[in-house]
Structure 1
Amino acid sequence: MQTFSENLVAASLFKLQQNRDFGIFYDPEKGGVDFLLNTIMGDIIPIGVGIGAKNTKQVKKAISRYNSDYGIIVSNRSSRIQKEDNIISIPISTFSFM
């Protein structure tokens, strides 16, 4: 299920990229986040994808490493979009409609 979720998020990001100007990359760090978005302003947005209780540790580490303002977790752990500190959690079902 994890691989399916990552593929769904990747497909959604590539679809969004057609109408937005940002780059999509994989985190080169071992144990890093699943995706990195590079915005037109040069900001890096780390994205972690998970099933179940996704740990925020990877995203927080990437926020620090890339000096990001915030990170995103896409998972099935909540039923609504939430923001806690500098991490935005998005339900995978919601993300799939973007």
Structure 2
Amino acid sequence: MSTAAAHTNLDLGVDEPRRLSTETKNATKTTELIAFVLAVVAVVVTANLYDGSGDGTGGDPFGATTAIRYVVYLTIAYMLARGLAKSGSREVYDA
């Protein structure tokens, strides 16, 4: 029993203050997400509607392959932007 009593008086120095901030805003609350979604929709719509010539007889210079490439570029840019946003900003909250 004396061992249990000794542990109750032990000071471990774990009195750290509670964290009252998050690292960044939620991704759904940022304008980056809105801009990303709008840009992806614009690429997909353009790829579906644009055929390359005024009369519709020419080849398709902006096909699915090009559209996917642009969507990948947009995704990479979005992830970089989120990474930069997370690199040091904080948002206060009361949890």
What range describes the TM-score normalised by the shorter chain of this pair? Answer: under 0.3
> Which one has the bigger strand percentage?
1
* Larger Rg belongs to: 2
Give TM-score, length-normalised by structure 2: 0.26
> Which one has the bigger helix percentage?
2
